[in-house]
Amino acid sequence: MALWAGRFSKEIDAGVNAFNSSISFDARMYRNDIQGSVAHAMMLGECGIITKEDSETIVKGLCEILKDLDDGTLEFDPNAEDIHMFVEAELTKRYGDVGKRLHTSRSRNDQVALDLRLYLRDEIVEIQGLVKKLAVVLTELAEKHTETVMPGYTHLQRAQPVTFAHHLLAYVQMLLRDLGRLEDTAKRMNVCPLGSGALAGTTYPINREMTANFLEFDAPMANSLDGVSDRDYCIELANTISIIMMHLSRFSEEIILWCSWEFKFIELDDAFATGSSIMPQKKNPDITELIRGKTARVYGDLQTLLVMMKGTPLAYNKDMQEDKEAIFDAVDTVKLCLETFIPMIETMQVKKENMRAAAAKGFINATDCADYLVKKGMPFRDAYKISGTLVAKCINENLTLETLPLEAYQEMTPLFTEDVYEAISLETCVKGRISQGGPSPEAVAKQIALVKSQLEME
Ligand code: ARG
């Protein structure tokens, strides 16, 4: 018999029960459900809504249920409507009437909103740990590559010289923003819906500050209708996770390119790549492709939540039960991706010489060639044109700016002298990019120092 059976003259249809039930996916919140019920029961006792004795018995009973679920002695009933009903029914099974007092002045509507916030609050801490770990790993790798010249790209065309450190630190910046967004999401999530009741609060003299305190929330939520019907925190978290996934996906795309024969900037460790069932020579970057693919799925989770909420009138509607699978999937996926991505980065081999060789092709010093003339007094647009003409000449004659003879330079303008070769050498080009945030080793050292303090690395 369902706990709400009083009004009904028949048992629920078995198929409808299965359709309606959420225990298969909300059982994972059992710890949070019990934690919330303990706080509620303690408050009921403190406020004289139930006796101290009953309150203590309920807390004791809930702790026993928690222990039995933790060690597997108690199994979830797949026919239960949800985790909240399951725990309450179990308590009542064990403690009779006392158990039946737990739900005084509470609804599953504020209960589920509470459980989900508690659950996600812990998950955010884990995601923060992983994002931070990745940022630390990238910063440590960057420290080893401040002199590793590689081509920087725009439109995936070789553009200007950077270093591998500089490139990695761009990702660290993205991750730092992700950490900021996670913190922000956690902060806004950390208000307590318990005591909102079904939607309209309660006539009992409850103390919402007390339960909020017990559960380490910053405050009770200010409006009971909002308390039970708000899922902004799921949407914000799914959004934050989507952005993390987008960053991982862009990085994955680069790694896929970098380990192709066309680039060969890196080599993945054998333990982090897969072979082909037919082509013996293949070593495939499956992990990164899966991360790229799973990003789509997390975007889907965000869409699910947004669309689920857009047409629901206040306050609670059963549509909102669909929030859990979406947000759990987003949380599970980003954790799984980060856990796999981090050791893949830690073990990959960086092929410095290939990066350097690619930087030597593609005329990525053409801007520097123009800047050379600007420093000798020529207006930039004229210098730009001369540099472009020289590049065209090199392409025709299968040369590079480094191998083009001085006479060819001087045919364009006598401002060119022997020192042009020094000015356009890749090392000079990188070292000269001293602007703040740029790729020169000194500018990168400053970025590393700042990032290390932001990540509390020393
Ligand atoms: N399983 C439900 C959910 O996840 C719990 C809240 C049920 N509330 C209700 N009024 N039926 O949303």
Residue 26 CA to ligand 1 centre (angstroms): 10
Within this chain, do residues 121 and 98 fall inside the same structural domain, yes or no?
no
Q: What is the mean pLDDT of residues 323-345?
A: 98
Q: Does residue 377 belong to any structural domain of this protein?
A: yes
Q: Where in the sequence numbering do the catalytic residues fall?
A: 155, 276
Within this chain, do residues 178 and 310 fall inside the same structural domain, yes or no?
yes
Q: Does residue 457 belong to any structural domain of this protein?
A: no
CA distance 414 to 174: 46
Nearest to 67 by CA among 45, 41, 44, 94: 94
Task: Determine the pLDDT at residue 276.
Answer: 81
Q: From 357, 376, 407, give the residue that closes a domain.
A: 357
Within this chain, do residues 98 and 175 fall inside the same structural domain, yes or no?
no
Q: What is the pLDDT of residues 90-143, one digit of tens each?
A: 999 999 999 999 999 999 999 999 999 999 999 999 999 999 999 999 999 999
Task: Determine the pLDDT at residue 6.
Answer: 84
CA distance 50 to 54: 7
Q: Does residue 35 belong to any structural domain of this protein?
A: yes
User: 């020169």: which residue's tokens?
Assistant: 440
Q: Does residue 454 belong to any structural domain of this protein?
A: no
Within this chain, do residues 144 and 202 fall inside the same structural domain, yes or no?
yes
Q: Does residue 4 belong to any structural domain of this protein?
A: no
Q: Is the pLDDT at 330 greater than 80, yes or no? A: yes
Q: What is the mean pLDDT of residues 250-272?
A: 96
Within this chain, do residues 89 and 32 fall inside the same structural domain, yes or no?
yes
Closest C-alpha to ligand 1, atom 7: 108
Closest C-alpha to ligand 1, atom 4: 321
Within this chain, do residues 266 and 132 fall inside the same structural domain, yes or no?
yes
Burial 99-123 (b: 16+ CB within 10 A, else e): bebbbebbbbbbbbbbbbbbbbbeb
Using DSSP's 3-state secondary structure scheme, residue 2 falls into: coil
Structural domain harbouring 430:
360-447
Q: Is the pLDDT at 172 greater than 90, yes or no? A: yes
- What is the DSSP code (8-state) at residue 7? G
Enter the pTM of the model.
0.94
CB 318 within 8 A of CB 111: no
Task: Determine the pLDDT at residue 79.
Answer: 95
Within this chain, do residues 441 and 299 fall inside the same structural domain, yes or no?
no
Nearest to 194 by CA among 104, 308, 96, 66: 104
Q: What is the mean pLDDT of residues 152-171?
A: 96
Within this chain, do residues 28 and 71 fall inside the same structural domain, yes or no?
yes
The CATH number of whichever domain residue 414 belongs to comes to: 1.10.40.30
Within this chain, do residues 302 and 380 fall inside the same structural domain, yes or no?
no
Q: What is the mean pLDDT of residues 151-178?
A: 97
The CATH number of whichever domain residue 65 belongs to comes to: 1.10.275.10
What is the tally of structural domains in the chain?
3
Residue 209 CA to ligand 1 centre (angstroms): 24
Structure tokens at 269: 């460790």
Residue 191 CA to ligand 1 centre (angstroms): 20
Within this chain, do residues 121 and 93 fall inside the same structural domain, yes or no?
no
Task: Determine the pLDDT at residue 2.
Answer: 76
Q: From 357, 387, 402, give the residue that closes a domain.
A: 357
Q: Which of 12, 112, 196, 322 to mutate to test the pocket of ligand 1 (most atoms within 8 A of CB)?
A: 112
Closest C-alpha to ligand 1, atom 12: 321
Give the 3-state secondary structure percentages of the chain, helix then strand then coil, rounded to 5. 65, 5, 30
Task: Determine the pLDDT at residue 275.
Answer: 85
Q: Which of 24, 82, 199 to mutate to test the pocket of ligand 1 (most atoms within 8 A of CB)?
A: 82
Q: From 339, 357, 375, give the residue that closes a domain.
A: 357
Q: Which of 24, 103, 109 to mutate to test the pocket of ligand 1 (most atoms within 8 A of CB)?
A: 109
Task: Determine the pLDDT at residue 140.
Answer: 98
Closest C-alpha to ligand 1, atom 3: 321
The CATH number of whichever domain residue 342 belongs to comes to: 1.20.200.10
Q: Kindly report the average pLDDT of the chain as a whole number.
A: 96
Q: Is the pLDDT at 283 greater than 90, yes or no? A: no
Q: Does residue 456 belong to any structural domain of this protein?
A: no
Within this chain, do residues 193 and 132 fall inside the same structural domain, yes or no?
yes
Q: What is the mean pLDDT of residues 301-327?
A: 97
CA distance 334 to 240: 10
Q: Is the pLDDT at 281 greater than 90, yes or no? A: no
Residues sharing a CB contact under 8 Å with residue 208, sequence separation 6 or more, in sequence order: 192, 194, 195, 220
Task: Determine the pLDDT at residue 442.
Answer: 97
Q: Does residue 213 belong to any structural domain of this protein?
A: yes
> Is residue 320 in contact with ligand 1, taking CB distance under 6 Å?
yes
Within this chain, do residues 90 and 212 fall inside the same structural domain, yes or no?
no
Q: Does residue 156 belong to any structural domain of this protein?
A: no
What band does 279 get if pLDDT is binned at 50, 70 and 90? confident
Q: What is the pLDDT of residues 33-44, one digit of tens each?
A: 999 999 999 999
Percentage of the chain lying above the pLDDT 70 cut = 100
Q: What is the pLDDT of residues 378-404, one digit of tens each?
A: 999 999 999 999 999 999 999 999 999
